[in-house]
Amino acid sequence: MPIPQFDLFGEPDPGEARVELPSGFRYQRDIITAAEESELLAHIRELPFRDFEFHGYTGKRRVVSFGWQYDFSARHLQKVDDMPAFLRELRVPAARFAGLDPEALQHVLVTEYSAGAGIGWHRDKNVFNEIVGVSLLAPCVFRLRRSVGEGWERVNVTAEPRSAYLLSGAARSEWEHSIPPVDALRYSVTFRNLR
Ligand SMILES: O=C(O)CCC(=O)C(=O)O
């Protein structure tokens, strides 16, 4: 069965069923300018990334956290270095888009996806509440699915560079998300608040 591709800006084809985004999912293009993206990338490239490790498995992506970090081996949150100023600045438009207080977004994860890297199906850990993700550089397919009867209901959204998405409500608690391998370097900056 074809997966609904959510075209956020185009006109629906005549006779085509309108695709419903999961409740609690929001998306907005261009929450920062191209100049701001370039400035951010200059800082991001200097961050102390390490390979993502999950129960002994090393993923293809590299990550760094600030504020708090989820330790997948110990299965708990630990306090880590405070967010650098450039991430606190990005948190302001990200929080405004999501209708949240910037100060409430106490954790940030910066992820580097080299060409060929992606992320498998998952829901974020329950220690976190809402998630606001900002995408930089290459676009990716942001896939969402939830279990319905014997199968899955699926929606795909293109996460464009400089855009933001919000996962809250059912999109956060009922739906899983994943990103298939990207074609070229992409970074995401995901802000989360703690439950
Ligand atoms: O890269 C993204 O936008 C999604 C990241 C994600 O799903 C995660 O780190 O759990």
178 burial class (0-12, 13-18, 19+ CB within 10 angstroms)? middle
Residue 11 falls within a domain, yes or no? no
Q: What is the CATH number of the domain that holds 182?
A: 2.60.120.590
Residue 6 falls within a domain, yes or no? no
Q: How high is the pLDDT of residue 74?
A: 79
Instruction: Name the domain count of the chain.
Output: 1
Residue 160's nearest CA partner among 41, 34, 52, 35 is 34
Residue 54's nearest CA partner among 116, 125, 126 is 125
Residue 102 falls within a domain, yes or no? yes
HSE-CB at 94 with a 13 A cutoff on CA atoms is 30
Summarize the confidence of residues 168-193 as an average pLDDT: 97
CA of 16 to the centre of ligand 1 (A): 30
Q: How high is the pLDDT of residue 19?
A: 67
Which single residue is written with the structure tokens 């855009």?
A: 163
Instruction: Tell which atom from ligand 1 comes closest to the C-alpha of 63.
Output: 9
Residue 179 falls within a domain, yes or no? yes
Percent of the chain with pLDDT over 70: 87
Q: How many residues does the chain have?
A: 195
- The 10s digit of each residue's pLDDT in 59-75 is 689 999 999 998 887 78
Q: How many helices (H) and strands (E) does the chain have?
A: 3, 14
Residue 155 and residue 135: Cα distance in Å, rounded? 18
Residue 9 falls within a domain, yes or no? no
Residue 116 falls within a domain, yes or no? yes
Q: 40 is in which domain, residue-wise?
A: 23-194
Q: How high is the pLDDT of residue 9?
A: 45
pLDDT(84) > 90: yes
pLDDT(16) > 70: no
Residue 149 falls within a domain, yes or no? yes
Task: State pTM to two decimals.
Answer: 0.90
HSE-CB at 123 with a 13 A cutoff on CA atoms is 18
With a 6 A CB cut-off, is 124 part of the ligand 1 pocket? yes
Handedness of CA 6, 11, 16, 20 (dihedral sign): positive
- The 10s digit of each residue's pLDDT in 107-134 is 999 999 999 999 999 999 999 999 999 9
Output phi, psi for 58, to 5 deg.
Answer: -100, 120
Which single residue is written with the structure tokens 């940030």?
A: 108
CA of 190 to the centre of ligand 1 (A): 7
pLDDT(5) > 70: no
Instruction: Tell which atom from ligand 1 comes closest to the C-alpha of 142.
Output: 3
Tell me the average pLDDT of the chain: 91
The helix or strand, by DSSP H or E, that contains position 91, with its residue range, turns out to be helix 85-98
Instruction: Tell which atom from ligand 1 comes closest to the C-alpha of 178.
Output: 7
Which single residue is written with the structure tokens 């992820």?
A: 111
Who wins on pLDDT, 16 or 78? 78
With a 6 A CB cut-off, is 65 part of the ligand 1 pocket? no
Residue 12 falls within a domain, yes or no? no
- The 10s digit of each residue's pLDDT in 136-163 is 999 999 999 999 999 999 999 999 999 9
